[in-house]
């Protein structure tokens, strides 16, 4: 009996090894393909992929022209997913996003309402300059992002999987914008920042985009493969000491908590929500897999902390006056929180 | 299951090593602190010997003991497997592989099929890593830095103890008092071995017996030491007389050819040989052996003659030898042998007593140290140390210094007669001679108190003599008068204010008025 169990275990282990190998292979291929178009920002590409593989959504922040939209377009091309782009403007209405019921007349002359799906019904949705739409329109995304469904005309419509929202926003032009409400921000697993490229990266960008033929990408990932990768990513085990570390980091962002960091007590208005811990753990799982490990370590947690928590920590007036950023506070928290000994 | 055992085995090894390392580290830390505290205490005590007493030492010891207990508790704290796993992960580094794997194997948690497979794979990977890892490589034993740092306070402490006064060190030794007792006992045994009934030996024995007594005051101890020293001096004196007599006899014998080998033996210090040769000479002289033996016995009874008698006897023997012509006088020969016997006995006694003296002097040194560490000082019966300006007396040698016992002991023994101390103003060896009170030390200069006022006296021109003594006198200066008045006013004010605090709460100036007031009321009521 025990021999049968051992054989079964060995077989499972072999399957796991193969699955992990496949996961890493797909991930690398996607990253390489995207890198053919997007110069630099490897960590951003990796972060976007991570969000996709753990059923999260990502908020991309960067000045105009650094390749936010291009990155999303390239990802859609590489992964062979249904892609739609929504350009957010102040006059954009929720119905423009989720769709609306329209009156249709069939061949018999009978009129009836028919739900006309909006651009949100896609696998990969680019919400470009999301902060330019009104909060009402922004909140149209709430249900879709959290529940993966859309309610319209008294009916709930399921969204096709994978459903992945990539929102972009410009941190400079704040006039005529509507900053995302906290609840909306909390829906995003990661907030990634695209930095201005360095000189050598600029050279590569110019070289690639100003010639007669622009580079093309290959489709390397199918929809089914993405769903399979999602299952693998969520299977990575996390021990309690590592979870405790993630929780300690999250609690340190809370000014009212006993375990709150001194800097958080001084500069933070609201700390991270429980979704922050989830984001830390899920992001760390993918990071662990991509670091040739089948277990999550505290190092993985640290690697995703900034991306997972920077948009969940709300600063107070004092921090804004002193130009303190959430990344500074999180960095200090990471330096001070000790790893549990187990 | 096998994977679990491998992981746990490694963690146990490392946990044990961590515990040992912690004990070493805590020991080093404790040693460092304790040595530093002791060195600091020793240095402070060396500089402020009077201010630091046994109380502070007890407090320090109690604090150090409490600290050591705390350190022991910390050192013996349990090291968990998780801590060991964390250490290995951090040292190698293994990215929490062992910590995580140990948590899974200790929880026996099984999720779904997929997750369980991941956990098994993770644990198997961790076990493979654990097999490669050696505890000694992760945590090699080495001397903690704190233990090396402890060398510094240890050196300071050793230096402080080495450079500190011997008096302090000797007194702090726990067996400092016990040692003299055993010395006294062996010294007395040595004296008993001399089997002599000389008065000096008895005196010495009495003094040593006094040392053995437990409830004895330092003064009595000092007196006993003086008596012992006196007895030893007496024995030495007699031995010196004996040696001088031997030399005298040797000179007298040298002129006689039959006594020449005996004279040589005496010069070389072989008194026993000389006596044997004389016995042989006497036995050759037959006929008078009987009477000579009797005379010898009679003289032997006087075993304890004074040095004066011994000197006289030797002189007589020498004279008889010089006047001896022709036949040898057997009676004179017998007396000579007796004298030589006495001399040898004196010298042997001196030898024994000198050994006793060596022990006695060691012991009295110890006594001196102890007495100096005790509260009994030379200034015990005097209030001079309380005075604000303790200066040495102009009468040098009479100033009663604290701790003067040590110096005075070696100065002079108390003589039997008052004249014995002539030529020395040191006083009694116990060091309690009362010096004259130092006058004028706390007073201000004379010029500040007084001014010289000269009064012109119309002297008789006819006589032509000037009486300087009558022409001036001292009176209080203006400054002194002002100060005295101010002091008086202040004193009066203080007195009045002090009275307010009496139980009656009535100032003295108003007491009469109050009394009158109540008497009048009383009288009014009676009317």
Task: Tell if the CB–CB gap between A242 and B100 is shorter than 8 Å.
Answer: yes
Q: How many CB atoms lie within 10 A of CB A156?
A: 11
CA distance B493 to B491: 5
Task: Tell if the CB–CB gap between A239 and B100 is shorter than 8 Å.
Answer: yes
Q: What is the DSSP string of B410-444?
A: TT-PPPSSGGGGTT--S--TTS-PPPPPPPSSSSP
Strands A149-152 and A155-158: what pairing? antiparallel
Contacts of A293 in chain B (CB under 8 A): 95, 97
Task: Tell if the CB–CB gap between B101 and A295 is shorter than 8 Å.
Answer: yes
Closest by CA position to B345, among listed B388, B386, B300, B314: B300
Contacts of A290 in chain B (CB under 8 A): none
Contacts of B14 in chain A (CB under 8 A): none
Taking the CA of residue B125 and the nearest CA in chain A, the distance in Å comes to: 9
Residues 6+ apart with CB under 8 A from B482: none
Q: Quick one: average pLDDT of A260-286?
A: 91
Q: What is the ipTM of this complex?
A: 0.80
Contacts of B103 in chain A (CB under 8 A): 239-241, 342
- Please report the sign of the dihedral spanned by the C-alpha atoms of residue A70, residue A71, residue A75, residue A76: negative
Instruction: Give the B-side interface with A, CB within 8 Å.
Output: 80-83, 85-86, 95-97, 99-104, 107, 111-122, 124-125
CA A22 centroid distance within chain: 22
A13 has a chain B CB within 8 A of its CB? yes
| pLDDT higher than threshold 90 for residue A280 | yes
Task: Tell if the CB–CB gap between B99 and A294 is shorter than 8 Å.
Answer: no
| pLDDT higher than threshold 90 for residue A277 | yes
Task: Tell if the CB–CB gap between A241 and B96 is shorter than 8 Å.
Answer: yes
pLDDT (tens place) for every residue of chain B, 527 residues total: 588 888 888 888 888 888 888 888 888 888 888 888 888 888 787 777 666 667 788 888 889 889 888 888 888 888 888 888 888 888 888 888 888 888 888 886 555 555 678 888 888 888 888 888 887 787 888 777 877 788 888 888 888 777 755 444 434 444 444 444 555 566 666 666 665 667 777 777 787 777 777 677 777 777 877 787 787 788 788 888 888 888 877 877 777 777 788 888 887 777 788 888 878 877 776 544 444 444 444 444 444 455 566 666 666 766 666 666 555 677 777 777 888 888 888 777 777 777 776 766 555 554 554 444 444 444 444 444 444 444 544 554 544 444 444 444 444 444 455 554 444 444 444 444 444 334 444 444 455 445 555 555 555 554 445 555 555 666 777 888 888 888 888 887 777 666 555 556 676 677 777 778 877 776 655 55
Name the residue with higher pLDDT: A121 or B325: A121
**Which residue in the set B83, B86, B115 is minimally distant from A235, CB to CB?**
B115
The pTM of the full predicted model, rounded to 2 decimals, is: 0.56
Secondary structure in 3-state letters for A93-126? CHHHHHEEEEEEECCCCCEEEEEEECCCCCCEEE
Q: How far is CA B369 from CA A198, B145, B158, B263, B426, in A?
A: 85, 41, 22, 48, 20
Q: Which two tokens stand for residue A292?
A: 């040739």
- Nearest residue in chain A measured CA to CA from B119: A237
Instruction: For B206-260, write each residue's pLDDT tens digit.
Output: 877 777 776 777 777 778 777 877 877 887 888 888 888 888 778 777 777 777 8
Task: Tell if the CB–CB gap between A295 and B96 is shorter than 8 Å.
Answer: yes
> Quick check: B278 and B340 in contact, CB under 8 A?
yes
A316 has a chain B CB within 8 A of its CB? no
Taking the CA of residue B94 and the nearest CA in chain A, the distance in Å comes to: 9
Confidence (pLDDT) at B442 = 44
Model confidence at A283, in pLDDT bands (50, 70, 90)?
Answer: very high
| pLDDT higher than threshold 80 for residue A311 | yes
Closest by CA position to B253, among listed B179, B306, B328, B195: B328
Give first-to-last CA distance, chain A, whole Å: 34
Share of chain A above pLDDT 70, in %: 95
Contacts of A229 in chain B (CB under 8 A): none
Q: How many CB atoms lie within 10 A of CB B181?
A: 13
Q: Which two tokens stand for residue A38?
A: 């997007």
Q: Which of A19-28, A198-207, B459-468 has the lowest mean pLDDT?
A: B459-468
Confidence (pLDDT) at B240 = 81
Task: Tell if the CB–CB gap between B95 and A242 is shorter than 8 Å.
Answer: no
**Which residue in the set A231, A237, A240 is minimally distant from B122, CB to CB?**
A237
A17 has a chain B CB within 8 A of its CB? yes
Task: Tell if the CB–CB gap between B99 and A342 is shorter than 8 Å.
Answer: yes
CA distance B135 to B90: 14
Residues 6+ apart with CB under 8 A from B114: A16, A231, A235
Calculate helix-pair angle for A240-252, A326-336, nearest 10 degrees.
140
Dihedral (Cα; B415, B416, B418, B420), 10-degree rounding: -40
Q: Which two tokens stand for residue B503?
A: 């139980």
> Quick check: A143 and A156 in contact, CB under 8 A?
no
Q: How far is CA A58 from CA A126, A167, A168, B12, in A?
A: 10, 6, 9, 45
Task: Tell if the CB–CB gap between A342 and B122 is shorter than 8 Å.
Answer: no
CA distance A207 to A37: 11
Task: Tell if the CB–CB gap between A12 and B86 is shorter than 8 Å.
Answer: no
Name the residue with higher pLDDT: B423 or A181: A181
Contacts of A294 in chain B (CB under 8 A): 118, 121-122, 125
| pLDDT higher than threshold 90 for residue A333 | yes
Q: What is the DSSP letter of A127?
A: E
Taking the CA of residue B148 and the nearest CA in chain A, the distance in Å comes to: 29
A339 has a chain B CB within 8 A of its CB? yes
| pLDDT higher than threshold 50 for residue A36 | yes
Contacts of A246 in chain B (CB under 8 A): none
Model confidence at A182, in pLDDT bands (50, 70, 90)?
Answer: confident
Q: Quick one: average pLDDT of A271-293?
A: 91
SS3 B450: strand
Confidence (pLDDT) at A38 = 84
Instruction: For B413-457, write each residue's pLDDT tens digit.
Output: 444 555 544 444 444 444 444 443 344 444 444 554 455 555 555
> Quick check: B228 and B409 in contact, CB under 8 A?
no
Confidence (pLDDT) at A191 = 92
- Nearest residue in chain B measured CA to CA from A338: B86
CA distance A274 to A247: 9
CA distance A255 to B415: 91
A244 has a chain B CB within 8 A of its CB? no
Confidence (pLDDT) at A4 = 56
> Quick check: A50 and A287 in contact, CB under 8 A?
yes
Confidence (pLDDT) at A140 = 82
SS3 A293: coil
**Which residue in the set A16, A240, A299 is minimally distant from B118, CB to CB?**
A16
Stated length of chain B: 527
A243 has a chain B CB within 8 A of its CB? no
Q: Quick one: average pLDDT of A235-243?
A: 89
Q: Which two tokens stand for residue B196?
A: 């002599």
> Quick check: B316 and B335 in contact, CB under 8 A?
yes
């Amino acid at each position: 009996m025990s021999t049968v169990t051992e054989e079964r275990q060995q077989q499972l282990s072999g399957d796991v090894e193969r699955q992990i190998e496949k996961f890493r292979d797909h991930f690398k291929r996607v990253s390489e393909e995207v890198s053919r178009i997007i110069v630099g920002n490897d960590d951003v590409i990796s972060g976007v992929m991570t969000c996709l593989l753990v059923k999260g959504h990502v908020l991309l922040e960067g000045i105009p022209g650094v390749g936010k939209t291009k990155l999303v377009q390239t990802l859609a091309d590489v992964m062979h997913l249904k892609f739609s782009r929504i350009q957010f403007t102040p006059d954009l209405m929720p119905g423009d996003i989720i769709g609306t019921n329209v009156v249709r007349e069939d061949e018999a002359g009978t009129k009836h309402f028919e739900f006309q799906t909006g651009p949100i019904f896609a696998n990969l949705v680019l919400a470009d300059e999301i902060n330019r739409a009104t909060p009402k329109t922004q909140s149209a995304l709430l249900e879709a992002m959290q529940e993966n469904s859309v309610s319209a005309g008294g009916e709930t419509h399921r969204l096709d999987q994978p459903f992945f929202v990539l929102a972009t926003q410009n941190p400079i032009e704040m006039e005529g914008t509507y900053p995302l409400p906290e609840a909306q921000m909390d829906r995003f697993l990661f907030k990634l920042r695209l930095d201005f490229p360095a000189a050598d990266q600029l050279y590569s960008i110019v070289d690639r985009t100003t010639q007669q033929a622009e580079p093309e990408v290959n489709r390397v990932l199918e929809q089914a493969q993405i769903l399979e990768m999602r299952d693998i990513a969520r299977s990575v085990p996390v021990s309690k000491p590592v979870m405790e570390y993630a929780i300690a980091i999250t609690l340190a962002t809370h000014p009212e908590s006993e375990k709150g960091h001194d800097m958080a007590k001084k500069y933070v208005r609201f700390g991270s929500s429980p979704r922050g811990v989830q984001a830390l753990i899920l992001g760390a799982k993918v990071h662990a897999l991509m670091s040739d490990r089948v277990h999550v370590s505290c190092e993985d947690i640290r690697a995703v902390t900034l991306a997972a928590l920077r948009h969940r920590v709300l600063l107070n007036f004092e921090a804004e006056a002193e130009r303190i950023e959430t990344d500074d506070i999180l960095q200090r928290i990471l330096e001070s929180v000790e790893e549990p000994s187990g | 299951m096998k994977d679990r055992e491998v992981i746990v085995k490694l963690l146990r090894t490392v946990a044990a090593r961590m515990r040992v390392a912690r004990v070493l580290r805590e020991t080093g830390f404790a040693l460092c602190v304790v040595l530093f505290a002791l060195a600091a205490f020793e240095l402070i005590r060396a500089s402020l010997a009077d201010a630091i007493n046994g109380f502070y030492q007890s407090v320090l010891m109690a604090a150090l003991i409490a600290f050591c207990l705390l350190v022991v508790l910390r050192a013996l704290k349990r090291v968990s497997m998780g801590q060991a796993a964390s250490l290995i992960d951090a040292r190698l580094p293994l990215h929490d592989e062992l910590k995580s794997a140990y948590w899974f194997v200790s929880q026996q948690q099984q999720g779904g099929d997929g997750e369980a497979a991941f956990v098994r794979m993770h644990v198997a990977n961790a076990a493979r890593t654990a097999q490669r890892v050696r505890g000694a490589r992760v945590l090699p034993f080495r001397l903690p830095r704190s233990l090396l740092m402890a060398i510094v306070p240890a050196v300071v402490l050793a230096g402080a103890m080495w450079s500190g006064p011997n008096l302090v060190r000797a007194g702090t030794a726990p067996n400092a008092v016990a040692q003299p007792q055993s010395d006294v006992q062996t010294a007395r045994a040595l004296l008993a071995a001399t089997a002599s009934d000389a008065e000096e030996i008895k005196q010495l024995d009495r003094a040593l017996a006094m040392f053995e007594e437990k409830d004895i005051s330092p003064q009595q101890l000092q007196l006993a030491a003086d008596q012992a020293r006196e007895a030893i001096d007496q024995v030495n004196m007699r031995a010196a007389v004996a040696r001088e007599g031997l030399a005298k006899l040797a000179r007298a014998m040298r002129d006689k050819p039959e006594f020449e080998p005996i004279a040589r033996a005496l010069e070389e210090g072989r008194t026993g040989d000389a006596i044997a040769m004389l016995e042989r000479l006497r036995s050759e002289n037959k006929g008078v052996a009987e009477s000579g033996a009797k005379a010898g016995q009679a003289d032997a009874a006087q075993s304890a003659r004074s040095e004066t008698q011994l000197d006289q006897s030797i002189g007589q023997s020498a004279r008889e030898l010089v006047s001896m012509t022709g036949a040898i006088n057997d009676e004179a020969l017998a007396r000579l042998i007796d004298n030589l016997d006495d001399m040898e006995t004196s010298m042997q006694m001196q030898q024994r007593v000198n050994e006793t003296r060596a022990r006695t002097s060691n012991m009295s040194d110890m006594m001196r140290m102890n007495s100096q560490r005790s509260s009994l000082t030379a200034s015990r019966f005097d209030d001079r140390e309380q005075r604000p300006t303790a200066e040495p007396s102009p009468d040098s040698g009479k100033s009663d210094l604290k701790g003067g016992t040590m110096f005075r002991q070696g100065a002079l023994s108390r003589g039997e007669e008052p004249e014995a101390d002539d030529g020395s103003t040191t006083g009694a060896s116990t060091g309690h001679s009362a010096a004259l009170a130092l006058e004028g030390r706390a007073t201000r200069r004379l010029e500040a108190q007084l001014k010289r006022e000269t009064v012109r006296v119309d002297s008789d021109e006819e006589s032509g003599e000037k009486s300087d003594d009558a022409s001036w006198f001292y009176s209080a200066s203006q400054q002194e008068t002002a100060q005295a008045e101010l002091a008086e006013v202040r004193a009066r004010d203080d007195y009045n204010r002090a009275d307010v605090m009496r139980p009656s709460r009535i100032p003295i100036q108003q007491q009469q008025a109050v009394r009158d007031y109540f008497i009048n009321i009383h009288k009014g009521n009676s009317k």
